[in-house]
Amino acid sequence: MPIEETGAEGTSSVVKVSWHALYTRHQHERLVAHALTGKGFDIFLPQYRTVHRWKDRWKELELPLFPNYVFVLGGLDRMLNILTTPGVHSMVSWGGRPADIPQHEIEAVRRLIESPLRVQKHPFIKCGDRVRIKSGPLEGIEGILVRSKSAYRLVLSVEMLARSAAVEVDVNMVERVGGAEAFRKDRLKADTASQSSQPIRIPEFQP
């Protein structure tokens, strides 16, 4: 997410601010999100609703979609302030540096949980053909299509965390996504007809 900063001489420059993931202690996600929000950080804690049996009754709960993880936008200049927050274990890193979480992955997850569709956790998955939802509240979102019994699910993944989430979709409302962006631009017209006739490989998912 770019942020415009104004210099001393009135000149402006665009500074890229990335999302990062915090690894929290067990069941401390809400505590961490609340504490960091109070410190002025921009926090994203995706949650989903599920029904659990509670003693002699059923109870609807709101649980973290990615247990032990909270996302924070920027804030690397206040790293100590983040890491000393109660409940924070560490920041997810790559090569010794805080790992950037792609903006499009964050936005896809945000749209998923804000949609009226039923969202749930899903084992991490990377294989299979990518598809794109053609219409509805999740139009334009891409993921992997899997089949579970008689239902179809679109699986979204946060690659850096090796975590996935899924939502049930109508298989008729998805279309196959081609290769790399440059390839799609070069071959868009030529592939339009052929892609519509290519079958989508749908991996079987056994819970």
pLDDT tens digits, 101-157: 999 999 999 999 999 988 988 889 877 778 999 988 899 999 999 987 778 899 999
My answer on whether 68 and 114 are in the same domain is no
Using CA atoms, how far apart are residues 12 and 27, in angstroms rounded to an integer? 42
% of the chain with per-residue pLDDT over 90: 52
The 3-state secondary structure of 98-158, one letter per residue: ECCECHHHHHHHHHHHHCCCCEEEECCCCCCCEEEECCCCCCCCEEEEEEECCEEEEEEEE
Domain that holds residue 200: 102-207
- Quote the pLDDT of residue 10: 56
Boundary-marking domain end, from 66, 101, 136: 101
My answer on whether 112 and 42 are in the same domain is no
Lowest mean pLDDT among 12-21, 103-112, 195-204: 195-204
Look at the chain and report how many structural domains it folds into: 2
My answer on whether 45 and 132 are in the same domain is no
